[in-house]
Amino acid sequence: MKRLLKIITVIIIFNCQFSIVNLASAQCETPITAFSGSETINYKLYFNWKFIWIGAGTASLNTVPTEYKGKKGYKTSLVTQTSKKIDRYFMMRDTIMSIFSDKLVPLYYRKGAREGKRYYVDEMWYSYPDANTCQTTTRHIHDDGHKTAEKHVYRQCMTDMLHAFQQFRNMDTSDWKKGQSKTISIAGGSEVIKARLYYRDDKTIKGEDGNKYKCKVISYIEKDGKKDKEIVRFYVTEDSRHIPIRLDLFLKFGSAKAFFSGMK
């Protein structure tokens, strides 16, 4: 799961002012069409263990209207929790959050994660000092309490993995063809991580709720040296809401799947 929403930047809070949305962010705007209020999507997690799929816990994707530094927007959170049975082997308690404007411009990111015996916090603030600049200020709190910090300036629109997924949900993909891909830029410290969203196929997927859904199959791919590495495969509904029905996760220790179990 940590590979699903991996952010390798680290964050510091500077005493300088943070601009929220101005001319610079306007070029990065995306109309929001997938949701218009609060939304909660629930999943059941399964891990692959010696060729056997076992129930591992639950996850939920929550999106709610919010206000950030006086600006209206949305807060989306992915909360993942392993079951008590799995905790004996590997405990996971992750809360990953992204705040963006009502035009889907990223403003803030945070990940607080307990993974095994390790606990750490990543944060990232976005600001837009001029019409052509995206600035990130970052902080990473290590599991031993040590803090590291960085500040970076980019001359392009930037995103993090959770924001990028919500951005995809609000894209018009009606004219996408199989084999088509879209490149996105992930804030990754001194280097920009170039990732791709790749349209694989169409499939009918059965959720944990017993219903079947017609889905687009989309892969999130990053460069691993000179090779492409698939991090996660999304199965999203073909309608304009692009509700994720299933996620196939390719982890360091194996693989996992998250199946849609309901939403409100």
Residue (of 78, 35, 76, 39) closest to 241 by Cα position: 35
The per-residue pLDDT for 252 is 67
Whole-prediction pTM value?
Answer: 0.81
Token pair recorded at residue 86:
């799995």
Contacts of residue 244, Cβ cutoff 8 Å, sequence gap at least 6 = 41, 61, 165, 169, 234, 235, 236, 260
The pair phi, psi for residue 87, each rounded to 5°, is: -55, -30
**Contact indicator for 256, 48 with CB cutoff of 8 Å:** yes
**Contact indicator for 184, 165 with CB cutoff of 8 Å:** no
Q: Beta strand pairing status for 92-101 and 254-263?
A: unpaired
The per-residue pLDDT for 10 is 22
User: In sequence order, which ranges of the chain are alpha helices (DSSP H)?
Assistant: 23-26, 84-87, 161-169
Characterise 104 by phi-psi region: left (phi > 0), alpha (psi -120 to 50), beta (else).
left
The per-residue pLDDT for 25 is 56
Terminal-residue alpha carbon distance, the chain? 23
CA atoms within a 13 Å half-sphere pointing along the CA-CB vector of 178: 7
Q: Which amino acid, residue 204?
A: T
The per-residue pLDDT for 2 is 42
Per-residue pLDDT of the chain (264 residues), as tens digits, is: 444 334 222 221 222 222 333 334 566 888 999 998 899 999 999 887 667 788 888 999 999 999 999 989 999 999 988 888 777 777 777 889 999 999 999 999 998 877 777 788 889 999 998 878 899 988 888 777 778 888 888 888 888 889 988 999 999 988 999 999 998 888 766 667 888 999 999 999 999 999 999 999 999 998 877 888 898 999 999 999 999 999 998 876 668 889 999 999
